[in-house]
Every structure is written in C-alpha cells, then in structure tokens.
Amino acid sequence: MSDNPLLRLYRRMQRWPAGQWLFSRAVCFKAPYFASISPRITVLEPGRCEGRIHHRRRVTNHIGTVHAIAMCNLAELVAGLMTDASLPPSMRWIPRGMEVEYLKKATGTIHAVATPEAELVEAAEGHVLPVLVEARNTAGETVFRARISMWVSPRPSR
C-alpha cells in the first residue's frame, strides 16, 4: 500500500536522523491531544503499529504508576495510526468504543502494539473493525490490554 500518504511520510522520515521523533511530533501536531503523553512511534506498517511512552511525572498517577488514561491515549493513537496505514484509500475510520483491562501496575517505559483482529478490506458499507492493543512494561510483562472498535466506512464521493 505504497500510495498511503501516512505510510509514505513515515517511511521518508525514518531515513532521517531523529526520524521517529519527528514523525511522532508531526502526528501530535495533527492531533494535539496526543502530545500530552509525548509518544514515540517506533513501527508503522500495514496491520501493525508500535509506540511507547516513558514513565515520567506528566503521565504519573497518585500511586506513582503510569496513569490509566495515558495508556488509553497511547492505545488509541497506535490503533488509529495502524488503521489509517492499513485501509484502502476509499475507506475512512473513527474510533467507536474501547474496552480496557488494567492487568498490572504500569511502571517504566510502556510499549504498545496495535494489530487488527479482522482483515482490513474495502467495503460498500460501514462496519466495525476490532483492533487489539497490548501494552508491556520494560520487563516485557503485559500491563494493559485494549480492544478498540473502529468504525470503518466508505469515504463520501466528491
């Protein structure tokens, strides 16, 4: 899917020094709310997106762990980027819902991976695409899991 503008931008920026940082900043410029967690996108390809956030004061809760909503933000970000990079150009998406599980206290760098639970296909009408996001801590333990329902539908004809 080389005609996907998001993938083209990601691949072009990966050739530059600090390309992951620059791409992540560009994403946060387009969707400013995500800047609150200072994410770093580390992998973007059709059917997969990986990103991480560092455990620092800005994302820490009252018990000293990474805040649940910071992990939700990371999950929505990687799920949205994966969906955007994977869909045919004739389709569009928007998150419709999210189910989350907090499995363990989250400390250290949190690394999230988003993958689709169904095949991403062109369709004549809208449908739900479930996306699974698993987040692990520095030790590789799963601390958070989310299932995000993406509403995927045909772009309106112009």
Q: What is the pLDDT of residue 1?
A: 42
pLDDT at position 2 over 70 = no
Average pLDDT of the segment spanning 57-79: 96
DSSP character at residue 32: G
Q: Are 48 and 1 in contact (CB under 8 A)?
A: no
pTM comes to 0.94
DSSP character at residue 85: H
For the stretch 88-110, pLDDT in tens is: 888 999 999 999 999 999 999 99
DSSP character at residue 117: S
Q: Which residue has tokens 């449908």?
A: 127
Strand partners, 142: 136
DSSP character at residue 157: P
Domains, in order of start, for the chain: 5-154 (3.10.129.10)
**Rounded to an integer, what distance in angstroms lies between the CA atom of residue 84 and that of residue 138?**
27
How far from chain centre, in Å, is Cα 13? 18
Q: What is the pLDDT of residue 59?
A: 96
Q: What is the pLDDT of residue 13?
A: 95
Q: What is the pLDDT of residue 101?
A: 97
Q: Are 86 and 117 in contact (CB under 8 A)?
A: no
- Of the pLDDT bands very low, low, confident and very high (cuts 50, 70, 90), residue 123 is confident
